[in-house]
Structure 1
Amino acid sequence: MLDRVRASLAQEVSRLIKVDVADLDAERALNEYGFDSISFTQLARRLNEVYELALRPPVFYEHPTLAQLAQHLVESYPTLRARFSVAAAGPGEAASAARPAAARRRRGRVRVRGAVEARGSLPERDKIAIIGMSGCFPMARDIAAFWDNLVAERDCISEIPAERWDWRAIYGDPREDGNQTNVKWGGFIEGVDEFDPLFFGISPREAELMDPQQRLLMTHVWKALEDAGYSAHSLSGSRTALFIGTANSGYGGLVTQAGGTISPVGILPSLGPNWMSYVLNLHGPSEPVETACSSSLVALHRAISALHADQCDLAVAGGVNTILTPDGHIGLSKAGMLSVTGRCQAFSKHADGFVRAEGVGMLVLKKLRGAQR
């Protein structure tokens, strides 16, 4: 079956990029054939139409080759396995299984069960419910305040606060030698150092050595689960998963400068979700995700995929980011990537870069049918 799925995928890729099937290497990454975010979107749309799936473009980054993609689809989509399993009955039926569903519907040969009524909607069995959330953002200490800011169209970008660093001390032309930046803007959350360590069974001293991102992660995962109506006791031993977008905040350098001793468990962003899974005794997947600006989106995709693949019964997906040192501002300024005006102006001729910001947001996800019970 796996070979047939791989061959069928190769046919679809061949049609899309106009490359002969014989020239496609199943072990070669698709982006080496010129795929980008736009063409991956087109491929996802095509495969969804052909195989009646619900793929999103990030799947092609997680499973970059035809071989890996075929393996993922076979393992994660029972409907696709059923479609290709008819090949065992004979070559004629196998060909019918791989034929695009849309074409077969046009010819009236099959009646698609559970066909969606609206373009882009999902079958009931694939729908995911958001049953809880928590977050903290610039000038918004919780989700309600964040919503108020959106409604009011409030600009939450500000000058770099003194408790982060003195922006005046490093202000200058980034094109010159030295660690300088001409950007003094960003989005910063309040209370980034606030944490109740004893609540999580962590000593105050150990908490001081923890990256604030890990503290925020633990706090808002807990709050999101609480918002969903779960207690820590009720989830202990459950198949609950964590998928968290995260990255290095530079806190380890600050600890070293202050004469402290770095604790890998509290500093490495890759261990943040694992620590929270340990604290809550969760037995589902526990994964950090770092794909730059798309980290939280990829984490959300991973959570939805895990629920669809029955790898967990409940999933928390989200991301956390803090800006604790000027290193990122300096490096990105030298690369010409940051906005000097402190404004993102996408698709405008006045655009001069992007603006860095802090934030943490967590969503609790569950299959819709399970959430409605």
Structure 2
Amino acid sequence: CNGLLILNEGIQKTVLGALTFGLLDGWWRYEDEDLRIPGSPLLSPDSWQRVLEQEGFPVVLYPARSAIDLGQQIIVAESDGWIRQTDRVYLQLGRVGNAVLPTIDITDGGQNSIAHPTLFREHVIDGILKALSLSLKIPKDSIENDQPFSDYGIDSILGTAFVKQVNEALGVAMNTAIIFDHTSVERLADYVLATYGKELSAGFQQQADDTVARASRIAINAPDAAPAEPQTTSASIAIIGMSGQFPGAKDVDAFWQNLVAGKDCIAELPAHYRDNDAKQAYRWGGILEDRDCFDPLFFNISPREAESMNPHQRLILQESWKALEDAGYNPKCLAGEQACLYIGAEPTGYFHESFTGSSDATIASRLSYFLNLKGPAIVVNTGCSSSGVAIHLACESLRHAESNV
């Protein structure tokens, strides 16, 4: 869900470069001399790393690092998905008349009261998340606010760098030991607010008030907005991700190769599938190779519950995750999104004492709950056309703006 930046940059000062490019307008107009290679506007690899991380690219790679002595380098960086602006705004949008204005919670408290308490807390959490992202060199969106720091590998060594980043971002002076008492982003934010809230609130308050004043001046002259109407679109909708398991094929690519080759993937049933005490009318079938490979803890499911689940439910969880990755999404980035989920499923005849494990009605809800999706989650059963109808309903949901993914 984040963008990639690919650079091909010179990283060494040369006489030829200075003579060739030094005559161009702007070559010597840089104002951040401390970042540059002395006597040149170029940046060293270390400077590029530092600048990109500060600007929201926590993952920086050098695919051709072994060729660094050649004076040029390929730099690949992944954005954390956040757009940075000159004036940082931590305000939710509300409406005054037909003009858009920030929502303000005016309190008539004492000297220590804050007019934007929720936004102030979000500001602190955002600073901690960015600091943790820079320290671990992972995208900020992959960090859970309530996940213990230890789960991300934070120890006494990494913790020192992390706390230093937090102190610089928020302007506080915490000791490294604090993160072992307040062990998640949420808990650390609570500590910062309780300990440094009064000091931090003054600067945040002034920044928020200035933003409100600017927004008010713009809104006064803004034309009246037309009432919102339900929107529909006829734009094309594309399927951009696929995943699946098939007899004789672990994924979609292998399945396609089997189709091209005309391969018969029906095989004799494994011995443990057969009932040796009864006459069996069937000995052959289409069998998935890794049908018993499922990681329940990855999906926050207990091993005991996983044993009672319809195997189809387990497959849907696995392959849906892979399909999102195939589409270029980090599935965790969809948390909170208005994303619709339609699944075509027919009864499989699988019976177990667990209702949630055997009922087809819960398949979509189970996946939607795990991914924390906020759109419709519906199971479709129209016989052989179930999958086609599910795709149709998903497209209609997108066209009518009921969902955005």
TM range (shorter): 0.3 to 0.5
Q: What TM-score, normalized by structure 2, do the two folds share?
A: 0.41
Q: What TM-score, normalized by structure 1, do the two folds share?
A: 0.44
Structure of higher RCO (CA pairs closer than 8 Å, 6+ residues apart): 1
